[in-house]
Amino acid sequence: MSAEPFAELAAALRERVAVIADRELYASDPAGHLAKLKAASARIDAASAALPKPVPGDLAHYLHGSSFQKALAWLEARGHAA
């Protein structure tokens, strides 16, 4: 199983976490913040779609439920988050 699609997903999840944490952008440019959040979410969707099938059950569950912190923790625990 290639680690590249999993690493891309981990990077996308980290990007979303960073956007959410950017309170300065949220305060100064809410529309720009929302645009970055939407772009990060689209990256997660694309990375999720590129994963080898079948997607492991726990990871699929986390992604389907938008439990992105849990999905990132799952990837990191398995060494897929380089």
**What pLDDT was estimated at residue 1?**
44
**Measured distance CA(52)–CA(69) in Å, rounded:** 21
**What pLDDT was estimated at residue 82?**
61
| pLDDT 10s digits, 65-81 | 999 999 999 999 998 87
- For 72, counting Cβ atoms within 10 Å of its Cβ (0-12 exposed, 13-18 middle, 19+ buried), the class is buried
**Measured distance CA(54)–CA(66) in Å, rounded:** 18
Sketch the domain layout of the chain as residue ranges. Answer: 4-77
Interior angle at CA 29, CA 25 and CA 33, nearest 5:
60
Judged against a pLDDT cut of 80, whether residue 16 lies above it is answered with yes
